[in-house]
Amino acid sequence: MVHGRHVSSRNDAPSGVKAVLGPTNTGKTHLAIERLCAHSSGAIGFPLRLLAREVYDRVCKIKGERNVALITGEERIEPKDARYLLCTVEAMPVTERSLAFVAIDEAQLGADRERGHVFTDRLLHARGREETMILGSSTLEPMVKALVPGVEVITRPRFSTLSHAGARKLSRIPPRSAIVAFSAEQVYTIAEMLRRFRGGAAVVMGALSPQTRNAQVELYQSGEVDYLVATDAIGMGLNLDVEHVAFAGLSKFDGQRHRRLTTSEMAQIAGRAGRHQKDGTFGTLTGSGGHDSEFEPDEVYAIEEHRFPPLTKLFWREPDPRFDSVATLIADLETPPHRDGLVLAPEAIDLAVLKRLADENQVADSVRGHAMVRRFWEVCRLPDFRQQGVETHSRFVARLWQDLRHGELGADYMAQQIARLDITGGDIDTLQGRIAAIRSWAYIAQRPDWVLAREEMAARARAVEARLSDALHGKLTERFINRRTAVLMKKLGPDAGLLSVRLEDEEVLVEGEHIGSLHGFAFQVDPAARLSDRKLLLAAAERHLPALLQSRAAALTAAIHEGVAPLTLENGKLSWEGEKIATLSAGRSLLAPLLVPDRVLDTIPAPARKELVAALEAWLEAALEPLAPLRKLDEASRAEDAGPELRALLITLVDRGGMIPREGSGVDRVDKARRTMLARLGVRVGALDLFVPAMLRPGPIALWRQLAGVAGISHAGNPPDPAMPPAMDSTKRHNTPGYRDLGKQLVRLDMAEKLLREAHEARSGASGNANNNNNGNRGSSRSFSLDPARAVSMGLTTASYARLLRIGGFQALVPRPLAEGTYGPPAPVRWRWRPPRREAEEIRPAPQRSDGAFAALGELLGAGRGR
């Protein structure tokens, strides 16, 4: 390659390059800080933002804030005259500045799969004008000698000894210990157990923000708790007063596979024990499971004697690729090094995102020219703080690029994105997710040419991160610290009845411990409760729950009597606050269902339960009041003077919700006196249907459908439209109670009766006029015209109106077409009454026409109206 910073471009190291190597607790970082402050200017690159911030605070006390800068991806504090820079390795200057002193911390991370190429580049090219210091593990020594000719290697011994203490139970772990796990779930489990056994534990994980991590560490350092539970994030950058490190496991998932820790990784973590001149111990946790939970003898020897296999390669990637095109950029980044000891770095997430987006035409087409390719690469290098993988992260980057390709992000847009995350509620995982998200926006806000009002937006992002960090620290403290361990400690064995149990909203608390929830009258055990605690906690809950339930039942009974109880009846189930408390079952009739209390009410003391059930029955009776018209029919069907024909008709009406077709109903067999009784009961006998007008509403129909379902009646039809319009499309609400089917449309029964009554009135008027003009002719043979205006206003098509008239016994007289050569509007459609013959007191259905015939008739009817 003939471009960029070659891997061999600076083979001759300037004088003053030192490699200070050794295990943990050798004072390497402290030495680097001393050398930095001894020079007129300088910079140190750290692997973690947390470390950079910690050293920044220390140097500020020595040199003053005006002279010290903090430069990380998410936070930049850069006074105008700053001469001392504390940076993350990615953010540290390499060739842009001329500084007297430069140091790289934890340089052995050049062997890391994701970030190793960055550390390797700094090791090769970051140099101080007067002095350069490379800090790291002794395993780095052969690589430093091979890659930095003339380097002075200084090996520092550990200040204290580290010895193996074997395996111990968690209850036997001594105070001032750190327990290291390799998953968030395992961290939480161990912290919960320590809360029970020892009163609490601080929690440290890589997903925590630096502020939250520092706050948790302070709980431990101050002595408020004697235990720290952490992931392997503890292995780097945290200087703690730890006397013993216990491994909950010796394997982890490294992003690609589940593997056993290397001896160097074990030593990095175990080395947290024993600080300064105080010796430390390390061991494993018994009962943590797994076949790899014990140290091998050769691993113990290597850790105690600090003897580890040297590194034989470091990862490298072209630091100055060409930006002629995206393809050229990818090719440069995938070009292997031409130097012994260096190997091409595995595909990091920034390169994976670049390659993925390069395959998307919409994104790739927008990247043209040297400047745009460079900018696109900068966007792709946005760190995946959310740790969601290439797929999800690339989508976020793609959306960001669509805005940044046109210029800078507006202040309003940035403020909106930051404000969306400014929510301090939620559990631990939710808050961690928000912190990861705000770190992304903090990184974006720090870029000099990405955001308008950069300083203001960066300050807002930092403020939100601080608030979220405080909230997360509070959640961790609340969950793992300051709990009343007497509730959970088995050795005390207290009488459960002596424990304090109270109800807060729906949470049942035993001595402040959340053990479950009370939804309605159903108690649900907290699924997170440990098996070893459940018996004690449930015993206390069961002893006190009857009193809580009695109080809750009394409150619900009073609310029912006052008419303010939030009860619901749906699908035959009576619910309170979303929880079922009773069901309906078939009673002596459809309108008299039985109320069956749910088993959850059995735990309520008998007197309170009896009062509550009586109140529920009263509520149900009031809730069924809209069915009073049907109840009148039901009572009349039992009257002695009803007669068999009327009794059968009334029973059918009740079973079918107060609406049945006239055809086949038997109403024509009912005598005149009993028809009068039918009218007094509120039943309207129409030309096509019998119906109770009061039932043609969604509320009564919905109640009847529920009772019909309870009684096992299968012809209740579909739920009605809440608006119950006069007419509607039959495809949406097929087989809906209260409507007559007209093919493509449905018409409400009372509206159908109104239209047919108007048609009969028009027929009577036409017959009267015909009789006056031509005595002797039968009025039924006279034709008449009808105006479809009312039907159209109801929402019926003229074709549906014509079908209704046909079903009602009216016959259309279609006018003859105009003679050839004659012009003008068509003659209107005329109608005549042709009632179907009745046989055996039943109406024989009229012959049906096809939908096409009715559509044509509807067109003529509409045309006639237009004339």
pLDDT tens per residue across span 182-226: 888 888 889 888 887 777 889 988 777 778 888 888 888 888 888
Determine the pLDDT at residue 862. 58
pLDDT at 378 over 60: yes
Determine the pLDDT at residue 825. 77
pLDDT at 487 over 90: no
Rounded Cα distance between 483 and 290, Å, is 30
Higher pLDDT, 510 or 793: 793
- Residue 272 — pLDDT band, cuts 50, 70, 90? confident
Give the contacts of 42 (CB within 8 A, at least 6 positions apart): 35, 36, 83, 84, 85, 99, 100, 101, 102, 103, 128
pLDDT at 96 over 70: no
Query: How much of the chain, in percent, has pLDDT values that exceed 70?
Result: 86
- Residue 501 — pLDDT band, cuts 50, 70, 90? low
In our burial notation (b when 16+ CB lie closer than 10 A, e otherwise), range 393-431 reads: bbebbbebbeebeeebbeeeebeebbeebeeeeeebeeb
pLDDT at 323 over 90: yes
Report the amino acid identity of residue 753: E
- Residue 109 — pLDDT band, cuts 50, 70, 90? very high
CB of 459 closer than 8 Å to CB of 195? no
Determine the pLDDT at residue 160. 83
Determine the pLDDT at residue 851. 53
Mean pLDDT value of segment 834-859: 53
Report the amino acid identity of residue 381: R
Rounded Cα distance between 75 and 72, Å, is 5
Rounded Cα distance between 266 and 246, Å, is 11
Determine the pLDDT at residue 525. 72
- Determine the angle formed by the axes of helices 370-380 and 389-404, rounding to 10 degrees: 140
Q: What end-to-end distance do the CA atoms of the chain give, in Å?
A: 90
Q: How far is CA 663 from CA 658, 713, 741, 846, in A?
A: 15, 21, 14, 12
CB of 210 closer than 8 Å to CB of 50? yes
Q: Point out the least confidently predicted range of 262-276, 459-473, 492-506, 724-738.
A: 492-506
Determine the pLDDT at residue 496. 47
Determine the pLDDT at residue 842. 41
Higher pLDDT, 421 or 195: 421
The backbone torsions φ and ψ at residue 638, rounded to the nearest 5 degrees and listed phi first, read -95, -5
Higher pLDDT, 413 or 159: 413
- Residue 499 — pLDDT band, cuts 50, 70, 90? low
What pTM was computed for the model? 0.56
The backbone torsions φ and ψ at residue 264, rounded to the nearest 5 degrees and listed phi first, read -65, -40
Q: Point out the least confidently predicted range of 103-112, 246-255, 781-790, 840-849.
A: 840-849
Determine the pLDDT at residue 534. 62
Determine the pLDDT at residue 406. 87
Mean pLDDT value of segment 484-494: 38
Residue 467: closest CA among 206, 204, 211? 211
Mean pLDDT value of segment 215-239: 83
Rounded Cα distance between 446 and 439, Å, is 11
Cβ neighbours, 10 Å, residue 644: 9
Q: Point out the least confidently predicted range of 454-468, 521-535, 606-620, 680-694.
A: 521-535
pLDDT tens, position by position, 580-636? 999 999 888 888 899 999 988 888 888 999 999 999 999 999 999 999 999 999 999
- Residue 549 — pLDDT band, cuts 50, 70, 90? confident
Determine the pLDDT at residue 839. 41
Q: What is the largest CA-CA distance in the chain?
A: 134
DSSP string, 631-651: HHHHHHHTSGGGHHHHHHHHH
Determine the pLDDT at residue 59. 96
> What does the DSSP 8-state code read for residue 720?
P
pLDDT at 779 over 60: no
pLDDT at 6 over 80: no
CB of 550 closer than 8 Å to CB of 608? yes
Rounded Cα distance between 190 and 230, Å, is 10
Higher pLDDT, 313 or 603: 313
Query: Mean pLDDT for the chain?
Result: 84
Determine the pLDDT at residue 380. 94
Side by side, which strands form the sheet with 689-691?
Answer: 659-661, 689-691, 684-685
Determine the pLDDT at residue 772. 60
Mean pLDDT value of segment 382-387: 88
- Determine the angle formed by the axes of helices 643-655 and 672-680, rounding to 10 degrees: 30
| Residue carrying the six token digits 């929690």 | 203
Q: Which helix (H) or strand (E) holds 854?
A: helix 851-866
Determine the pLDDT at residue 855. 57
Mean pLDDT value of segment 439-453: 90
pLDDT tens, position by position, 715-773? 667 888 888 899 998 877 778 899 999 988 999 999 999 999 999 988 888 776 666 65
Determine the pLDDT at residue 489. 38
Determine the pLDDT at residue 463. 92
> What does the DSSP 8-state code read for residue 242?
B
CB of 472 closer than 8 Å to CB of 208? yes
Determine the pLDDT at residue 697. 92
